[in-house]
Amino acid sequence: MKKQVFVVILSVLGILSVVTPRYILPVCEYSGLSRMRCTDLSIVVGILGSAIIVISMVGMFLKSPTVFRTSMLMSFLLGCAVFASPAVVGYCKSQFHPCHYGTVPAIRIIGILTVVSSAIGYFLSGRHQRIQK
């Protein structure tokens, strides 16, 4: 597969990481409740999502296969960080808050999709390198 496919997928997942806690499935503060720990979670996930976008773009615009593999590895690690961020940063404990039933499951799904797509990109780029030699 072409590396542009993985860059587009990772860029979309990075954009979803940035947009989901604020607009799609907003955390408590953006839903009209007071500021809570989930607001910090949305900030952390937004920063991680921005990093995923930048790193995937770097992997596309620099032509080296090694840089692409490294960007896939870094995206893998950032996807793990997105998945683990609700447990590390924390969020509201009430089951009736929107972050608990909406935002956190979406963030975890986005993290899993980022991990899976970057791992596939990493292994396919390595296989492609071995075939060319």
pTM: 0.89
Taking the alpha carbons at both ends of the chain, their separation in whole angstroms is 17
**In sequence order, what are the residues at sequence separation of 6 or more whose Cβ sits closer than 8 angstroms to the Cβ of residue 81?**
48, 111
Number of domains in the chain: 1
Alpha-carbon span 129 to 79, nearest angstrom: 24
pLDDT (0 to 100) of residue 131: 41
Range of the domain at 85: 3-132
Alpha-carbon span 54 to 21, nearest angstrom: 19
Alpha-carbon span 33 to 48, nearest angstrom: 24
pLDDT (0 to 100) of residue 125: 82
User: What averages of pLDDT result for each successive group of 10 residues across the chain (133 residues)?
Assistant: 85 96 90 86 96 90 86 96 95 85 94 96 74 44
pLDDT (0 to 100) of residue 29: 86
Instruction: Tell me the residue length of the chain.
Output: 133
